[in-house]
């Protein structure tokens, strides 16, 4: 495509929405050579964090590392704009350890916008796309709110909570996708005209409070880590000043205020029909569902270094603004709180992802991709991961190449997408470690080992980064071998060090064998061995995990091999399930709706019985 085709509104790809999904989609498509029009309702809110100003957390941190390993940018931006870094679950096993970055919200937005504006082939425009243009079941263009027409061969919809969004503060309703931003009107109707089914979901966000009106002395301080970790596998990550968060708790007064005002909640009055996120409920939902719990944790999180705004984590609500004031002022340390922005709930349209393929392209309209909350997910990280895959696959579609479809065994991204397109999600989907049957293999520390090769092959990981990855992997294997070969003698000096960690050896022992003991970490080896002191941190961490959990890892690898046998049973695209005897009616309906590509996918569809999978296996075998 001629780079000047933008003068005639001709593009390869149009990305609708510039949140976390839209940014990754636009950047990946542009970096792979496509001319991209990135449409947003407000250019000042690119990559906005409209809810909590943070990236990562359990399972989500693995998604961010995987995005980085494939060549996405979320990890780089989070590293560049953090105001606190903290590793959660650090005392637990490697499968559940998680990095969390408290972000400077404005800096994050500005940094991402700078990347977009300095990437060739991206054209940013503030407008609302209201119609998609389809011919012969293929995307040919779009129309915006001003009547301007754009031609393209692929569209990626990343509309977040804006699609027909309606906000609630108490029983009052306002058109909008989030506070201070209008809703995207018209596009839902256009999708339905083309046979796309839309439904409604709900989410919400807490109030923002002026930090000058908070008494932090009544709260518990929550500092960042002294020993920093980062998301991006790129070298030379920035060392920044960290600021603390704080912890307070609800009490009986808080709960009484909420219970007395449930009649003013749009959720409890039936005004909101959409289902909210189960794992991030409103505070009134917590009080009702967990009535026996006398208190709930509330985290006080700064929104940035140059603002007084503070985020009240765990206090999402849709109750009226006057009630919110009472609720907040019942919390220790917030007795004099001044609300800068009230909490609100938002109900919006989404497109159930069972209508899409694993590539995130529509099953019915070629060139139409969906990514982020429009697929029914919740969270910046889930959105960014989908945006990256949709952007890559939009280019593959235009080039008539095979789509990138990551497996459950390869990544959390693969697990996320497989769940969305096979399980008919009825509530906002959040990535959890428990959603993966291979979570010991899919850790945040080894995302580069699993996905960098793919990112390099695609063209999003450059040769220099790829060589650094190869060098790291070589060093890890060398270190594992060194630990297996190096023997420690049972001297008084060695046992004196081991005694501090509740250990003792009576005979010489190889360092790898010692490292398998629960109380022994690589830091202990550094006390015992000079060479260990000079091993790079990321190499040491990976070597420790691979040695300590070797048996468990091999067991999960065997599970992967078993699952891959089912994936070899490919299901023909034109199969007529109505003609298959000896399977249940429910299974037949589920398979017809989702149309899995292989038996492994079919086995994960809710309602499909193991006996029916056996029938299909025999049939496909014949």
Q: Do the beta carbons of residue 337 and residue 254 sit within 8 Å?
A: no
Burial (CB count <10 Å: 0-12, 13-18, 19+), residue 123: middle
Q: Answer yes or no: is pLDDT of 609 > 80.
A: no
Mean of the pLDDT values across residues 360-377?
Answer: 97
**Tens of pLDDT, residues 216-249:** 999 999 999 999 999 999 999 999 999 999 999 9
Q: Percent of the chain scored above 70 by pLDDT?
A: 99
| DSSP class of 362 | B
Helix 537-548 vs helix 550-567: angle between axes, to the nearest 10 degrees?
80
Residue 88 in this model has a pLDDT that exceeds 90: yes
Mean pLDDT on 88-106: 91
Question: What pLDDT sits at residue 63?
Answer: 98
Residue 267 and residue 262: Cα distance in Å, rounded? 9
* DSSP type of residue 44: G
Is the pLDDT confidence value at 1 over 60? no
The enclosing H or E element of 30 equals helix 20-31
In terms of Cα–Cα distance, which of 519, 523, 561 is closest to 543? 523
What are the structure tokens assigned to 514, written together? 């010692």
pTM exceeds 0.85 for this model? yes
CA distance 488 to 505: 9
Is the pLDDT assigned to residue 385 strictly greater than 60? yes
State the average pLDDT over residues 145-149: 97
Residues 401-444: pLDDT tens digits?
999 999 999 999 999 999 999 988 889 999 999 999 899 999 99
- Average pLDDT value for the chain: 93
568-621 domain in CATH 1.10.150.570?
A: yes
Domain covering 208-346 assigned CATH 2.40.30.260 in the classification: yes
Which residues in the chain are classed under CATH 2.40.30.260?
208-346
pLDDT score of 470 more than 70: yes
pLDDT at residue 94 greater than cutoff 70:
yes
The residue assigned the tokens 């060098």 is: 471
Q: Could you report the per-residue pLDDT of 448-467, keeping only the tens digit for each?
A: 999 999 999 999 999 999 99
Residue 549 vs residues 93, 160, 303, 356, 513: alpha-carbon distances, Å: 9, 39, 38, 37, 12
CATH 1.10.150.570-classified regions of the chain: 568-621
459 to 114, 381, 455, 470, 473: CA distances (angstroms): 21, 22, 6, 16, 20
Higher pLDDT, residue 588 or 41: 41
* Torsions phi, psi for 578 (to 5 deg): -65, -20
Q: Are strands 199-205 and 98-103 parallel, antiparallel or unpaired?
A: unpaired
Q: According to the model, what pLDDT value does residue 2 have? A: 58
Q: How far apart are CA 150 and CA 9, in angstroms?
A: 5
Dihedral angle of Cα 487, 490, 491, 495, to the nearest 10 degrees: 110
pLDDT at 77: 98
Q: Is the pLDDT of residue 606 over 80?
A: no
CB 242 within 8 A of CB 85: yes
pLDDT for the residue numbered 277:
78
**Per-residue pLDDT, 3:** 63
Q: In this model, does residue 270 exceed pLDDT 90?
A: no
Start-end ranges of CATH 1.10.10.1800 in the chain?
463-554
Q: What is the mean pLDDT of residues 16-29?
A: 98
Task: Give the CA distances from residue 390 to residues 36, 62, 125, 395, in Å, rounded to whole numbers and listed in that order.
Answer: 13, 19, 20, 9
DSSP state of 443: -
pLDDT grade for 568, boundaries at 50, 70 and 90 = confident
Q: Any idea which architecture 463-554 has in CATH? A: Orthogonal Bundle (1.10)
Mean pLDDT of 489-518: 94
pLDDT score at 299: 97
On the CB side of 520, CA atoms within 13 Å amount to 24
How far is residue 547's CA from residue 565's CA, in Å, rounded to a whole number? 28
pLDDT given for residue 162 in this prediction: 96
d(CA 204, CA 286): 14
Residues 411, 72: Cα–Cα separation, whole Å? 15
């Amino acid at each position: 495509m001629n780079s000047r085709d933008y003068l005639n509104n001709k593009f390869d790809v149009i990305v609708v929405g510039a949140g976390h999904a839209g940014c990754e989609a636009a950047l990946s498509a542009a970096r792979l050579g496509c001319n991209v029009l990135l449409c947003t309702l407000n250019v000042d809110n690119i990559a906005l964090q409209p809810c909590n100003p943070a990236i990562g957390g359990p399972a989500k941190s693995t998604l961010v590392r995987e995005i980085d390993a494939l060549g996405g940018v979320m990890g780089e931006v989070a590293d560049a704009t953090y105001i606190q870094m903290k590793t959660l679950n650090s005392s637990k096993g490697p499968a559940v350890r998680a990095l969390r970055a408290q972000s400077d919200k404005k800096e994050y937005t500005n940094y991402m916008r700078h990347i977009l504006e300095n990437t060739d082939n991206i054209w940013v425009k503030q407008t609302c796309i209201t119609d998609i243009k389809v011919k012969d079941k293929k995307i040919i263009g779009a129309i915006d709110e001003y009547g301007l027409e754009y031609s393209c061969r692929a569209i990626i919809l990343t509309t977040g909570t804006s699609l027909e969004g309606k906000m609630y503060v108490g029983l009052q309703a306002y058109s909008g996708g989030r506070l201070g931003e209008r809703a995207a009107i018209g596009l839902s109707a256009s999708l339905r005209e083309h046979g796309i089914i839309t439904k409604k979901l709900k989410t919400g966000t807490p109030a923002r409070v002026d930090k000058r009106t908070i008494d932090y002395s009544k709260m518990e301080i929550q500092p960042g880590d002294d020993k920093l970790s980062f998301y991006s596998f790129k070298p030379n990550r920035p060392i920044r000043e960290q600021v603390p968060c704080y912890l307070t708790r609800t009490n009986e007064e808080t709960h009484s205020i909420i219970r007395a005002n449930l009649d003013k909640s749009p959720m409890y009055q039936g005004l909101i029909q959409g289902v909210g996120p189960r794992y991030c409920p409103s505070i009134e939902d917590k009080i009702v569902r967990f009535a026996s719990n006398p208190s709930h944790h509330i985290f006080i999180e700064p929104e940035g270094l140059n603002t007084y705004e503070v985020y009240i984590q765990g206090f999402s609500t849709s109750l009226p603004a006057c009630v919110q004031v009472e609720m907040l002022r019942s919390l220790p340390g917030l007795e004099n709180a001044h609300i800068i922005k009230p909490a609100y709930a938002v109900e919006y349209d989404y497109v159930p992802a069972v209508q899409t393929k694993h590539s995130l392209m529509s099953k019915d309209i070629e060139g139409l991709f969906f990514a982020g909350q429009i697929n029914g997910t919740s969270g910046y990280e889930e959105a960014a991961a989908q945006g990256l895959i949709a952007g890559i696959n939009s280019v593959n579609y235009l080039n008539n190449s095979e789509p990138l479809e990551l497996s459950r065994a390869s990544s959390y991204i693969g697990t996320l997408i497989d769940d969305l397109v096979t399980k008919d999600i009825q509530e906002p989907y959040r990535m959890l470690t428990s959603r993966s049957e291979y979570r010991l293999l899919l850790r945040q520390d080894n995302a580069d080992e699993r996905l960098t090769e793919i990112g390099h092959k695609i063209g999003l990981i450059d040769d220099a980064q790829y060589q650094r990855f190869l060098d790291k992997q070589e060093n890890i294997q060398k270190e594992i071998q060194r630990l297996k070969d190096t023997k420690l003698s049972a001297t008084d000096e060695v046992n004196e060090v081991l005694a501090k960690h509740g250990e003792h050896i009576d005979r010489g022992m190889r360092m790898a064998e010692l490292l398998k003991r629960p109380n022994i970490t690589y830091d202990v080896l550094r006390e015992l061995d000079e060479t260990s002191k000079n091993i790079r941190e990321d190499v040491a961490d990976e070597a420790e995990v691979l040695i300590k959990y070797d048996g468990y890892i091999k067991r999960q690898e065997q599970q992967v091999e078993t699952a891959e046998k089912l994936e070899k049973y490919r299901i023909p695209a034109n199969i007529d399930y109505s003609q298959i005897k000896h399977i249940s009616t429910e299974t037949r309906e589920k398979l017809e709706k989702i149309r899995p590509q292989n038996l492994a996918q079919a086995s994960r569809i809710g309602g499909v019985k193991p006996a029916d999978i056996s029938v299909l296996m025999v049939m496909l075998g014949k």
